Amino acid sequence: MKSPLLLAASLLVLSTVSYGFLETRALAHRHRLTGTTAGKFLTSEELWFSQILDHFSPYDHRKFQQRYYEFLDYFRAPSGPIFLKICGEGPCTGISNDYLGVLAKKFGAAVVSLEHRYYGKSSPFKSLETKNLRYLSSKQALFDLAVFRQHYQDSLNAKLNRTSGENPWFIFGVSYAGALSAWFRLKFPHLTCGSLASSAVVLAVYNFTEFDQQIGVSAGPECKAALQEVTSLVDQGLASNTKAVKSLFGATELKVDGDFLYFLADAAVMAFQYGSPDELCNPLVQAKKDGEDLLNIEWQAVYAKYVNEKFSSVETYDQEYLKVTAITENSADRLWWFQVCSEVAYFQVAPANDSIRSSRVDTRYHLDLCKNVFGEGVYPEVDMTNIYYGGTKIAGSKIVFTNGSQDPWRHASKQISSSTMPSYLITCHNCGHGTDMRGCPQSPLCLEGNAQNCTSPEVVQKVRQKIIEHMDLWLSECVSGDSRNHMTM
């Protein structure tokens, strides 16, 4: 049964003041069913679009096939909004049935989603050798979105038998895709009424010490102390019996100690980033209270057990694996590291004092990885990235920023509100990466972004209500022409 506070929040969502775009009645027009609310995806039917390879060259006319998806079940034709969900640093296998589906139904919107260039099935080349990655960047990806948006609008006009006209568009993204969502509104304000930038990492960071510091805050004093003790014992163990320590965590293939220590740090990170802190901290703290040696055989059932269960793909931390240039289902690891090493960094280095991760996970480790995997000359142009987009001083408008309180990535996001770019912090014990869209935990998928398992679901609902209000206003302004960047209907 819902708590009175949650019930009140739900009623508030239903009774919101509308500027004209909220769906208040059953749809009179229905399109063919491509998914169900009971499924993981709203749709997973692949569609293809011929995309320009290099948007910045007037001489290079090569193109490649880019995968996308569309979901029209809730679309209020012909004038309903179009929601563009940006796929980020991984294969895009469909439109997830998260909170975006709820918003699409509420607003009578079509939903389209474009796979990021190079990822999944949208690779321009048959090999991912470094020289072929020169067109992999956020700047190229933004133009992909702009060209696709125009193509889709034109094709929709043809289906609707109209020669011109524009539907109102709204852009969505989480994490790196959240940054792309914000940057798209910044660079192409005439192509969207607004953007939702969920956990949007808009600030490129060279030495991202705040990342580790947030893990300590999110863990709390007892869990933090236990994690630090594990790190200390592992560092000592690697000096005396490397094979035994790595074997304990099922990671003997990680020959480079830095790779292993990064892997071990990430194991802890995921618990807080994706809303499952108690799975890690409760048994860890209890083991410490019981006085157990955190690396003896009893520990197999505590931290090592957690690591072995949650991280089956140890190879993704192996630099030799990251060198593989053949296109496989796991190529996203190499591709994202290229973007890290060439554009945004986000080097998750150990702070000088009171760190959780090993001090050996430092700047030199990251730079050596970039050089070893991609060769000479690949270096993160952090300053140029922030000059181009503005970092947390982004000079945009009509962008909603949201972040989870426990998420270490929020320190690369815009956390201070302004009049035209509101920013909301969703505060609860298990509110992590993309909580507003994903609910709790943030992984695996919670259907329709169900927030009832968040420790403070009413806080999530309150932020969602704010998102709805901003969307309703901006979409209405877009259509009415009250804003400078209006669209003609």
| 49 DSSP β-pair partners | 66
CB 204 within 8 A of CB 179: no
- Quick one: 206 exposed, middle or buried, by C-beta within 10 A (0-12, 13-18, 19+)? middle
Phi then psi dihedrals of residue 106, to 5 deg: -65, -35
The active-site residue, picked from 433, 436, 456, 472, is 433
The phi-psi region of residue 137 (left if phi > 0; otherwise alpha if psi is between -120 and 50; otherwise beta) is beta
- Distance, in Å, from the CA atom of 358 to the CA atom of 355, rounded to the nearest integer, reads 7
- Distance, in Å, from the CA atom of 321 to the CA atom of 128, rounded to the nearest integer, reads 13
- Distance, in Å, from the CA atom of 209 to the CA atom of 346, rounded to the nearest integer, reads 9
CB 231 within 8 A of CB 260: no
The active-site residue, picked from 259, 266, 318, 407, is 407
| 114 DSSP β-pair partners | 68, 86
Closest CA to 489 of 133, 162, 57, 45: 162
| 207 DSSP β-pair partners | 347
CB 228 within 8 A of CB 356: yes
Would you call 407 a catalytic residue per the annotation? yes
Pairing of strands 95-96, 345-347: unpaired
H or E element, residue 266: helix 257-273
**Residue in the block written with tokens 């709203």:** 42
The active-site residue, picked from 138, 175, 195, 423, is 175
Would you call 175 a catalytic residue per the annotation? yes
CB 479 within 8 A of CB 487: yes
**Residue in the block written with tokens 């989480």:** 174
Q: How many helices (H) and strands (E) does the chain have?
A: 15, 12
- Distance, in Å, from the CA atom of 23 to the CA atom of 103, rounded to the nearest integer, reads 10
CB 202 within 8 A of CB 414: yes
Instruction: Let me know how long the chain is.
Output: 489
Rg of the chain over all Cα atoms, to the nearest angstrom: 23
Q: Which two tokens stand for residue 417?
A: 């509100």
Active site residues: 175, 407, 433
